[in-house]
Amino acid sequence: MPERSVIMVMFSKKQFATAAAAPAPQAPFSDSLLRLFSNPYVGAGAAGSLLILTLVALIALVGDPKAAMPVVRLSLAKVSGGATPDGWREALARGGDQPAVTEDIFRLSETPIDPLGGEATITMQGAHGDARPLPPAPLAGLHSQGPNGPLPIIAADGRTPAQAYARPFAPNGRPKVALVIGGLGLNAAVTRQAIETLPPEITLSFVPYSEGLQGWIDLARAAGHEVLLEAPMEPADYPDNDPGPYTLMADAPGQETVKKLEWVLSRATGYFGVTNYLGSRFMTSDPGMTAFLTALRGRGLDFIDDGQAARHGGPGRASALRIIDDQLSSEAIDQQLLAIEAGALQHGQALGSGFAYPVTLSQVGKWAGTVESRGYQLAPASALTVGR
């Protein structure tokens, strides 16, 4: 909460000599009051007092303008992926297999970060008022240490990460519409815009190669968004279109697919499932998809795809009906969103998928603000998976 400045007005007191003679006749009270306020010192004091009283009254009536906004505090040690206290500056430029602290988190912090520890404090300026924070990750019993970092596991009591990290949802009987917005974590401004301006029911997916990935996921969950992690998959035009060194390849042995997937999963905690990044070729490979889905189910994770893997069913699965921004125009995106509404009306629910382009974020924000007034229920993607 910002400090409030108090205006101090110093009053000068002048001593006036009184004559020994009989006192002069007293002027009417109104004249005395007028002369009093015509004194420049008294006038300044009165103005200052009036200003203070006005500020107090406004604060009492309106309250702190930031009081209703979610405030996120990120541990430096947590965001840095285990950086040593003396090496936090070096961690800003560190590559390798562990998430690194990024300049983004330091720049976004509203308070100085102590190099020996401390926290980054970030107020979600554009967050929706109904955004209830999701519990911070990791939750106890839902991860174990792998060779590259924490890996999700099914808890001893049978609780899965998919159940624990999904956004709670209560259906109201209306057709359900959901959206996944992906490609987050690489561009700080776009990622922050998606987290802050989209309703918490919109599911966000993050690129595993993002630096400071855990910090972004923490911010998203603090704003009420459930989170997916993107698995890079081989596209039809590989290697011209290369999703990176941990791409799941269609012809790779199952053991290699699982090894690469585990590297992706070890990048952070707090996600309820995985979604695809590209993958037009990988998702046509039955052996590859079998190894992939079996590994996910063994760790209690959902798989939500952009529509290319619709033929692969099973529990914890959902496929998008439409990719809403194949054509990057506001009119085309609006038409795809209307198609999702039509699909929900026909089937009881429908899922859309999009990328964090500025025009996509803008149109999705407008659509999400009015869709429930047309008789639908905006839902997180997890609420549309099979078995929920």
pLDDT digits (tens, 9 = 90+) for 146-195: 999 999 999 999 999 999 999 999 999 999 999 999 999 999 999 999 99
Q: What is the DSSP letter of 384?
A: G
Q: For residues 47 and 4, what is the distance between their CA atoms, to the nearest angstrom?
A: 19
Quick one: average pLDDT of 193-206? 97
pLDDT digits (tens, 9 = 90+) for 282-308: 999 999 999 999 999 999 999 999 999
Bond preceding residue 65 cis, omega within 30 of 0: no
For 314, other C-beta atoms within 10 Å of its C-beta total 12
pLDDT greater than 50 at residue 61: no
pLDDT at 131 > cutoff 50: yes
Between CA 212 and CA 217 the distance in angstroms is: 9
Whole-angstrom Cα distance, residue 123 to residue 130?
15
User: In this predicted structure, which of 29-43, 211-225, 276-290, 339-353 has the lowest mean pLDDT?
Assistant: 29-43
Contact 373, 174 (CB under 8 A): no
161 backbone dihedrals φ, ψ, rounded to 5°? -60, -35
Structure-model confidence comparison of residues 88 and 53, the more confident one? 53
Looking at residue 36, its pLDDT comes to 46
- DSSP class of residue 168 equals P
DSSP element (H, E) containing 373:
none
**317 SS3 class:** strand
Q: Measured between alpha carbons, how far is 118 from 111 in angstroms, rounded to an integer?
A: 10
Over residues 117-125, the mean pLDDT reads 65
Angle at Cα 312 formed by Cα 310 and Cα 313, nearest 5°?
Answer: 95
Tokens standing for residue 282? 């990988």
What pLDDT does residue 72 have?
Answer: 62
CATH 3.30.465.10 matches 157-384: no
For residue 186, give every residue at least 6 positions away whose Cβ sits within 8 Å of its Cβ, in sequence order, or none: 207, 209, 210
User: Tokens 């998203």 sit at which residue?
Assistant: 220
Bridge partners of 319? 305
Pairing outcome for strands 203-206 and 227-233:
parallel
Q: Write down the mean pLDDT value for the chain.
A: 80
- As a whole number of angstroms, the distance between CA 192 and CA 108 comes to 10
Mean per-residue pLDDT, 330-357: 98
- Measured between alpha carbons, how far is 272 from 154 in angstroms, rounded to an integer? 12
- Can you give the residue ranges of every domain in the chain? 1-60, 71-122, 157-384
Q: What percent of the chain has pLDDT over 70?
A: 68
- Residue 328: the pLDDT is 94
pLDDT digits (tens, 9 = 90+) for 67-118: 445 566 666 555 555 433 333 334 334 444 443 445 666 666 677 766 555 6
Q: Where are the alpha helices (DSSP H) in 266-377?
A: 286-298, 330-347, 358-368
Of the candidates 317, 353, 302, 331, the residue with the CA atom closest to the CA atom of residue 178: 353
pLDDT digits 0-9 by tens, 243-286: 999 999 999 999 999 999 999 999 999 999 999 999 999 999 99
Maximum CA extent, the chain: 115
Q: Is 212 left (phi over 0), alpha (psi -120 to 50) or beta?
A: left
